[in-house]
Amino acid sequence: MKFVHIADMHFDIPFTVLSKNGLGDARRLDQKIAFKQIIEYIKENKIDYLFICGDLYEHEYVKQNTIEYINHLFEEIPQTKIYIVPGNHDPLVKDSYYAKFKFSKNVTIFNENIQIFSEEKVDIYGFGFNNFYKQNSEIENIEIKNPNKINILLTHGNLDASDKEEMQYNPLSKSKLKALGFDYIGLGHIHKPYYKDEKKQNIIYPGSVISLGFDEQGNHGMIVGEITEDKKLKLAFVCVDKKEFIEEELDISNFYTQEEIIEELNKKTIDENKYYEIILVGKRSFEINKYEIQKQMKSNNIIKIKDNTELKVDLEELAKENSLKGIFIKNMLNKINETNKEDILKAIEIGLQAM
């Protein structure tokens, strides 16, 4: 059996940061193009199954015409069986499209109960969210009904969750999942691909289909797999995202004004298939207003400006001075343990300039 495994498409996500630069609609179009590319791949390669492991769309924002677009593509692959497990962003709640929209005949949507769909050679187990949070799905207690068949488990959840926030999204133990004996476990929720991190790995996150922000750098796409009759698993990652979020540093230690930063960034060669976060580093002797810099960028592809610079002064030495400036700095430095350090340093900078 041949399959494609995707997750975390997040159709109609607002793309808040990109939208500030007028690029939100373009990135949402990228989502549709990527999804169509996946469907074309399935057609060309006669894929038997499409597994979608949660967060196909954003419940709060998704439009009906987007759902219709998705379903139209499902209808183009009638010979491919499509299994969807709702996640925490697209749970199977009463007013969800999973509940009220009539999807193509080849689509199966899992609910909040652990279900099994049996075919001649394959049993597919799955569990979907029926709320925006799920703390215990009982998946780790599954017993495989027919070990002689190919057994697949699909769900959306957090593998080896380590804090309270992660524990709200169907926490799962890798060791317990391995002990269940499935031939393939397809997951969603984590946006970084996880498919070749260990020997004979069969617990897989495909990652988000396209990158959703600067915390999701690197390639994004889908997992293409095959399980042979003797249960040998073959996996490959296929990149479908044509654009990339990248971070680049700019050392401003030798700059004397904010205008020099703006000039330097506006001279930069921009790749239109990349979105940039510029991180300012080094020592500075002038105030930086990153929002003003952002407004004066010629290219919309410079999405964010981050200020990681430090004042070009020795605050500890200045604090020793028996002067108004020294007393001011000493008092402010004493507040760093009580308040946000970045805010205090910014206040010191403004105070020094005023003096």
DSSP line for 1-55: -EEEEEB---BT---HHHHHTT-HHHHHHHHHHHHHHHHHHHHHHT-SEEEE-S-
227-237 pLDDT, tens digit each: 999 999 999 99
pLDDT at 278 over 60: yes
How many helices, marked H, and strands, marked E, lie in the chain?
Answer: 10, 18
* pLDDT band for position 339 (cuts 50, 70, 90): low
Q: What is the mean pLDDT of residues 180-205?
A: 96
> Measured between alpha carbons, how far is 103 from 30 in angstroms, rounded to an integer?
23
Residue 307 has φ and ψ, to the nearest 5°, of -100, 105
Higher pLDDT pick, 103 / 354: 103
CATH number of 2-239: 3.60.21.10
Residue 137: both structure tokens together: 């799905």
Residue 318: both structure tokens together: 């200045």
For residue 290, CA distances in Å to 277, 296, 300 come to 12, 10, 15
Q: What is the mean pLDDT of residues 285-311?
A: 92
What single string gives the DSSP state of each residue in 61-114? T--HHHHHHHHHHHHT-TTSEEEE---SSS---TTSHHHHS---TTEEE--SS-
Separation of first and last alpha carbons in the chain: 74
> Measured between alpha carbons, how far is 64 from 52 in angstroms, rounded to an integer?
19
Reference 300, options 10, 29, 24; nearest CA is: 24
The domain ranges of the chain are 2-239, 244-354
- Asked if 210 and 176 count as a contact pair (C-beta separation under 8 A), the reply is no
Say what the pLDDT of residue 100 is: 97
* pLDDT band for position 337 (cuts 50, 70, 90): low
